[in-house]
Structure 1
Amino acid sequence: MNKQQLANKIWAAANKMRSKIDAIEYKDYILGLIFYKFLSDNEVNYLLKAGWREEDLVNLVEDYDDENAKLIIDYCKNNIGYFIAYDHLFSTWIKPDSDFNIGDLSVSLNSFDRLVSPNYKPVYDGIFKTLQAGLSKLGDSTASQTRAIKELIKLIKDIPTDGSQDYDVLGYVYEYLIGNFAASAGKKAGEFYTPHEVAILMSELVAENQRNKPQIEIYDPTSGSGSLLITIGKSVGRHIADKNKVKYYAQEQIENTYNLTRMNLVMRGIQPSNIYTRCADSLDEDWPLQQVGSEMNKPLYVDAVVSNPPYSQHWDPTDREMDARFKNYGVAPKSKADYAFLLHELHHLKPDGILTIVLPHGVLFRGGEEEQIRTNLIEKNNIDSIIGLPANIFFGTGIPTLIMVLKQHRENDDVLVIDASKCFVKDGKQNKLRACDIKKIADTVRDRATVKGFSRTVSRDEIRENGYNLNIPRYVDGNEETEHYDIYATVFGGIPNAEIDSLQCYWEAFPSLRADLFAPEADKPYSLLRTEEVRQTIENNVDVQSFNQQFANAFDGFTDAMHQRLIDNTMTVHELTALDEIATDIFKRVENIALVDKYAAYQALADNWQTIVNDIETLQQDGLNAAREVETAYKMVKKGEEEIEVPDGVKGRIIPFEFVQQAKFQAELTAIANMQQRIEVITSELDDLHDSFTEEETESYCESEKDNAFDKAAIKANAKPKADVEPETKAKLEKIVALWNEQTKTNKEIRTAKQQLIDKTVEAIENLSDEEVATFLHEKWIEPVCNGIDDTLRSVLATLETSVVALNKKYAVSYKQINDEFASTNKELAGLIDQLTGDERAIEGLKELIKE
């Protein structure tokens, strides 16, 4: 199920509950039931993998008088941490013969709480409290509550909970519900969901810093949905052989959201023994603390802290001056807790750890207590990097935000400032970081690179000179140059050589191209465009052709290398490692090619990577035969007020039908295309006949109440041989009927041919050889990446063409030319007026007018 299909499910579920509860509370029911479904499915799948059969599941009973039942209970609790009886399984609730009611849900939730293993209590204890407490709101009676919950369960039953999706299901549901219903509820979503792309960026920064550690502990003191922790864990996990060597610490003040944190961590396959969570105010009570040993109840220091705390939140700073977290830096003002969160997190960081925190820009320049804290952070050399993000990237606020990277100990004493405010693509109402933006930012942080208009390392002395003001525009000018107009060129024409010089990077790459495009004016610093065929001139230039060949040579063997890495070794590919290796390969190939943006080339890989990864995961899980399978295709259709998913034929599980058809059944495709083209011709001929009708024929053979469409009954009746109709009209009617008959016959043939083609395609997919599978995977995985990389070269030349054309257009019509044309027109008009006769005063007035 992709995100759009899941969104449709959520929308339908929410609509079912719209009249029963506040919109902001939808998520508590939907998320709670999704998680219960996960736990239920997880137990069933665990037992089936252990050798149980479906029919054995009825033996899951809570009967302490039955020794076998007791053994089963202990077996489940010891291995998965809990036990759910057969009657309480989600899959049992939705059986056709089930008499499930609201009371069963309440009993099931209570039973779960009671049957959690003691070792797993910290993770599961009270996790369904919000769902349990809200059941009474679903209706005025048991019957109405049961109807409501049944509708919800029916909609949720198909939502995936097995962790195989390429996105965070619970986090996405949470974001979707907050985004669609918080505003309509007239409330703020007190919890902040970190967009996936921002979480990916933060995770890349952390992963790079922690890549050589055998195990890692990460902490989020404002964990929200838990998605930020999950994303960080996944990224650092690619550098650790055993993913179970990552420990997660999460604290969240709001109980509903705290429960969501725990649900999300468990659903992503993290071992409960690696999950440490707490429902409390991180600023009010310091945590995490050491649980054992001589350091018990002292601060726990972790490898990485990540957070997206609520912006500029009020807090109580009373008597905090001697708090170990704040005493060496200062206490944040009560109206803005931003630095309180930051200092709390810094306090829990190991000497070699890294802290990444999302903050509003105000922390960079506000005065008072915040200036004092900022000064101390600079003087103690804690601030490593500041990354300005695009505006409107978070739901619920359009304000620009930043990521601040801090460390306890650093070798360098400067601050890297990055202005990434223009690194985004529009995605509906929101702005969104692209994969190439994320990689560019992460690489810049890693290399501490200075890039004009994007990043700069700033010395502490310069920051001191600026009064410890860290506002990004003071150090990085990310604004585009203001366009200016040359006065001489505006008046007399010509293109200023200075503006042609602004394209110097192209003239350095293509030394002979400037002379091909521009002709200098004698004794003037201006030029004229030699040709109107700018694109052709660029393409024919010898240096451009050499550049194209250099690009081709750089990527010689790239497709074969990709094929070998991803297709020849499909069963052993590691997603994140392979992505790093291919990205490194791309960067190496383009490093000596001027003008080509390596990050644009990387985006071509990123755009196609998730498709590749999804297929690889399927093949690794189910074997190569998965590429020889077909499955039911689905589409969304409107039914009443909701959209439902309905079957829509079949499709290749991995290999698209169109690939196979184009390779094996071109004759059949051509035949179908020819028939479809004939249908278009028939439609056109029918339109022509309709237009040829006289007024009388229109009245007799068209239906006025249906926009004058053909009256089929009348036409067919009067087209018969014995019908008494004018010969010319009869000929038209006979032609129309003949076209209709051909149209019907051809459409039937098209349907038959399409079905026969589908049958042939299914058979062909099911009998693909290993070599054919590899060929089609190459077409699906490798070719789009290579085509995208080639597009970066075309983009370079297209940008140059656009710039040259724009320069020429800018000064194409000069003021002098306009003036001369006006004078010429005025003179011509005067001559015409001189020829006029009539009222003397009128003519005198016209002559005076043209003098103006």
Structure 2
Amino acid sequence: MNKQKLANRIWESANKMRSKIEANEYKDYILGFIFYKYLSDKEVRFMKSKGATAEDIKLLSEEDTETVKYIQGNIGYFIAHKDLFSTWLTLGKDFDISNVRDALSAFSRLIDSNYKKVFDGIFETLQTGLTKLGESSGSQTKAASDLIQLIKDIPMDGKQDYDVLGFIYEYLISNFAANAGKKAGEFYTPHEVSLLMSEIVADHLKDRKEIQIYDPTSGSGSLLINIGRSVSKHIDDDDNIKYYAQELKQNTYNLTRMNLVMRGILPSNITTRNGDTLEDDWPYFDESDPIGTYNPLYVDAVVSNPPYSQHWDPENKETDPRYARFGLAPKGKADYAFLLHDLYHIKPNGIMTIVLPHGVLFRGGEEGVIRKNLIENNHIDVIIGLPANIFFGTGIPTIIMVLKQKRENTDVHIIDASKGFTKVGKNNKLRASDIKRIADTVAARKDLPKFARVISRDEIRSNEYNLNIPRYVDSSDSPESWDIYSSMFGGIPKREIEELSAYWLAFPGLKAELFTNDSGEHVNIKERCLKDIIKNHPDVISFKEHFAGAFSGFDAEIYSHLVEGMETLNISKEETLLSNEIFERLSSVPLVDEYRAYQILNDAWVKISVDLEIIQTEGFSAIKKVDPNMVIKKKNGVDVEVQEGWLGRIIPFDLVQEALLHEEAAALKEKEDRLAQVTVELKEILDSLTEEEKEDISDVLNEDNTEFVTGLVVKAAKDLLKGHQASDYAVDSPEGKILAVMNLLDDEKGLKKNIKSDSDKLHSLTKETIENLTDEQVYSLLELKWIKPLMKELHQISLVILDTLASKVQAISDKYAITFSDVEDEIVKTESALSSMLEQLTGSEVDMRGLSELKALLGGE
């Protein structure tokens, strides 16, 4: 099940459950059941991997203490066969809410003592909330049964290129944002922000063999999971990553643990705490063994998105080692308290990233003192300004701040990334290319106009430690200027042409072909088609050849990676490999924005990765399968799910028809085109009728004379043909038009019948074709689906560059094409013409006095 199908099913279920469960609570139930299914399926997979048969699994019970201990020692818990999620499904109508209560109670009792920190109380939110599913046991059973049926097909094997719980959580929060409001925004980090932070951290840690990461306000756990995934691109063994998390809210603390476990992370690599980070800091120790388990927790990376400007109590915290060196955050704003907590817990060579409100960069008082101390102690490394409206539940501007314990440089890298996003509903969203551009800029510590600057500590001191981004990076658009000479006399100022210098460097001879040679400060554009000059210029032709050459053989390389390696390639790493290849191929091509090419790749990869996920999960045979196309229809006023034909699980029907059933598809298309033409011809006949003709033949039209009525037309035509031939009536006469309409309606009826029949036959033939594809046809179709569109989009980049140049030159030309003198002449001509018209007007004495004054104002006298 891909993401979109999963999202659709969950949203449908959520709407059905709204009468029983608060919208924002719904996620706790569905996530709890999903996690229980995961643990059940994991136990079954483990037993099967050890040679257990289906009959052996049916015998799993608490009474078999030896097997209980064996399973507990390997996976950390035990679930009896009667309590397995799969058993609930087999119960059918015999399933009862008590099955869930008993199973959750037994799970808590049967956790291995070594895994208590990971699993103890993890189902508390679900367990205590079951009564909210309905007022009676029966209604609770019905609601639980609906949820179980909903999630039974959700993938649980960890092969997905996304964390299932995190995706569902994000989807529900975004759709319930109005209901969840600020509470959701307090602990939820959008995936794109999480990914950006992860890429920055992963680059810093890329040479480490073992890594410890910590999130002190972990929420859903998405930050930790994304960092783990990003870091795993550079590390040989994922099991060498240890995860630490702390979360205040019980239900989200449980979600952190669920999410980490579901991603296949070893329980021994997960250490979590449910507590107040600011009031109840590590060192961590197990109360049963305080000396042996003492851990002050210094890690390689800390990442957090704490609740913004939260109230906290700084009283008696002066000696707290987290704050002693820098100062105490004010009562009403705990932002710097969280930041200093994070900084305290990183190793000397570690890194931290934190999301904070923009105000921490410039607010004074206690925060100003802390900021100064951080700068003077050389801890602030990077500041990234994010777009507004990027977080659910709040529209305030936010930043990511990157800090380190020890740095060789003393400057601060400031990036204004507030302009790079796409609009999704009411929220702004970072695109994949925005994330990569920012991460690459951080890694290379680059200066980029209107985007990034490395600021010296002296400059920051001169600004009294105010780090407000616009003081250092001006990302605003340059105001448009107008040349006064060109506005008065025409011509184009050379300085405006030189603003396109990047194009003239790439096409050295083109400027002379576009503009007249003038020794002064202004030139004129040559009177020829700009696009033709640009398109046919030798420099431009050479550029297009160079661009095409850069991608020579790339399609064959992608084919080798994706099609030939579809069953074994590493999905999470493959996009990085391909993007690196694109960047390398474009490195010598001028004018190209590599990040535009990367975005094209990512847009394609979103779809390709879903297919690869299905293939790697279900096997090669999945490509030759079709699924019922289920749609929602109204039946007796109730929404009912019904089947309308079939869909290719991976290969779309239209692609098969285009590639393998072209003749059949073309024949159908011809009839559909003819049907569309009949509709046009009917409208043309109706439009050709005069109002009198419409009155004469109103008995074949609807009430407002806007449409022919089939039955009435047929009757009228038959009457006309009684004792007559069609040729007896002139084609342009009302009678001739009625007969023409009858013929067209006959055509329309026959075409609709044939199109329905042919369409059904083609649909069935397409289904049969997919199910009987040869392997060679599969490879060819995947190439058409995955590679051809990607290559076409990449090759379009060069044409977009040339169209942009033509548009810019045309805009400069149009800007000064009409001078003030031309405008003045036009005004005079218009006034004169209007004055002449006024001469022809007559009226009362008062009217004529008014007209006389108007003529005087127009200069007509």
For the criterion TM > 0.5, the same-fold answer is yes
SS, match of residue 519 in structure 1: coil
The aligned residue for residue 591 of structure 1 is 587
Deviations 1:118-168 (A, max 9, x none): 222211111121222222233333333333333444444444444444333
CA contact (8 A) 1:388 1:401 kept: yes
The aligned residue for residue 575 of structure 1 is 571
Distance in 1 between the 2:178 and 2:851 partners?
69
The aligned residue for residue 856 of structure 2 is 848
The aligned residue for residue 654 of structure 1 is 650
In 2 relative to 1, CA 162–391 (structure 1 residues): closer, same or farther, beyond 3 Å?
same
Unaligned runs of 5+ in 2: none
Distance in 2 between the 1:650 and 1:834 partners?
75
Q: Where do residues 811-850 of structure 1 align in structure 2 (5 Å cutoff)?
A: 811-827=816-832, 845=853, 847-850=855-858
Question: Which letter does structure 1 place at the counterpart of 2:400?
Answer: I
The aligned residue for residue 508 of structure 2 is 511
Question: Which letter does structure 2 place at the counterpart of 1:561?
Answer: E
Deviations 1:548-583 (A, max 9, x none): 112122222222222233333334422344333322
CA contact (8 A) 2:2 2:610 kept: no
What displacement does 1:30 show?
A: 2.5
The aligned residue for residue 41 of structure 2 is 41
SS, match of residue 457 in structure 1: strand
Provide the TM-score with structure 1 as the length reference: 0.91
Q: Where do residues 515-534 of structure 1 align in structure 2 (5 Å cutoff)?
A: 515-519=512-516, 524-531=520-527, 533-534=529-530
Deviations 1:504-535 (A, max 9, x none): 11112112222222235x66422232236222
Deviations 1:750-795 (A, max 9, x none): 3443344344444444454444433332222222332222222222
The aligned residue for residue 754 of structure 2 is 749
1:428 aligns with 2:425: yes
CA contact (8 A) 1:12 1:155 kept: no
The aligned residue for residue 279 of structure 1 is 274
The aligned residue for residue 193 of structure 2 is 198
Deviations 1:262-311 (A, max 9, x none): 11112222222221111001111112536689785341111111111111
The aligned residue for residue 317 of structure 1 is 314
The aligned residue for residue 13 of structure 2 is 13
Residue 792 of structure 1, aligned match among 785, 789, 797? 797
The aligned residue for residue 212 of structure 2 is 217
Q: Where do residues 571-720 of structure 1 align in structure 2 (5 Å cutoff)?
A: 571-635=567-631, 646-688=642-684, 695=694, 699-702=698-701, 704=703, 711-715=709-713
What displacement does 1:235 show?
A: 1.1
What displacement does 1:400 show?
A: 1.5
Residue 140 of structure 1, aligned match among 135, 141, 147? 135
Among all aligned residue pairs of Structure 1 and Structure 2, give the percentage whose two residues are the same amino acid. 51
The aligned residue for residue 27 of structure 1 is 27
1:442 aligns with 2:466: no
Distance in 2 between the 1:386 and 1:186 partners?
27
CA contact (8 A) 1:22 1:185 kept: no
Residue 375 of structure 1, aligned match among 367, 372, 389? 372
The aligned residue for residue 359 of structure 2 is 362
What displacement does 1:815 show?
A: 1.5
Distance in 2 between the 1:429 and 1:688 partners?
44
Question: Which letter does structure 2 place at the counterpart of 1:602?
Answer: Y
What displacement does 1:422 show?
A: 1.0
Q: Where do residues 190-269 of structure 1 align in structure 2 (5 Å cutoff)?
A: 191-269=186-264
Distance in 2 between the 1:571 and 1:628 partners?
15
Q: Where do residues 339-488 of structure 1 align in structure 2 (5 Å cutoff)?
A: 339-488=336-485
Residue 109 of structure 2, aligned match among 110, 114, 131? 114
Residue 96 of structure 2, aligned match among 89, 101, 108? 101
Distance in 1 between the 2:703 and 2:504 partners?
67
In 2 relative to 1, CA 832–369 (structure 1 residues): closer, same or farther, beyond 3 Å?
closer
SS, match of residue 324 in structure 1: coil
1:807 aligns with 2:815: no
Q: Which moved more, 1:253-262 or 1:163-172?
A: 163-172
Distance in 1 between the 2:295 and 2:43 partners?
38
What displacement does 1:252 show?
A: 0.2
CA contact (8 A) 2:515 2:525 kept: yes
Distance in 2 between the 1:717 and 1:456 partners?
81
Residue 785 of structure 2, aligned match among 780, 788, 792? 780
What displacement does 1:355 show?
A: 0.7
In 2 relative to 1, CA 536–445 (structure 1 residues): closer, same or farther, beyond 3 Å?
same
Size of the aligned set, in residue pairs, is 845
SS, match of residue 570 in structure 1: coil
In 2 relative to 1, CA 187–387 (structure 1 residues): closer, same or farther, beyond 3 Å?
closer
What displacement does 1:677 show?
A: 1.4
CA contact (8 A) 2:250 2:274 kept: yes
Provide the TM-score with structure 2 as the length reference: 0.90
1:178 aligns with 2:183: no
Question: Which letter does structure 2 place at the counterpart of 1:590?
Answer: L
In 2 relative to 1, CA 672–404 (structure 1 residues): closer, same or farther, beyond 3 Å?
same
Distance in 2 between the 1:150 and 1:82 partners?
24
Question: Which letter does structure 2 place at the counterpart of 1:98?
Answer: K
What displacement does 1:452 show?
A: 1.3
Question: Which letter does structure 2 place at the counterpart of 1:551?
Answer: F
In 2 relative to 1, CA 268–186 (structure 1 residues): closer, same or farther, beyond 3 Å?
closer
SS, match of residue 800 in structure 1: helix
Unaligned runs of 5+ in 1: none
SS, match of residue 184 in structure 1: helix
CA contact (8 A) 1:31 1:170 kept: yes
Question: Which letter does structure 2 place at the counterpart of 1:345?
Answer: D
Distance in 1 between the 2:724 and 2:96 partners?
73
What displacement does 1:688 show?
A: 4.9
SS, match of residue 213 in structure 2: strand
Distance in 1 between the 2:781 and 2:577 partners?
23
Q: Which moved more, 1:343-352 or 1:95-104?
A: 95-104
In 2 relative to 1, CA 554–140 (structure 1 residues): closer, same or farther, beyond 3 Å?
closer
Distance in 2 between the 1:640 and 1:214 partners?
63
Distance in 1 between the 2:80 and 2:635 partners?
36
Q: Which moved more, 1:783-792 or 1:317-326?
A: 783-792
Cα RMSD, aligned residues only = 3.2
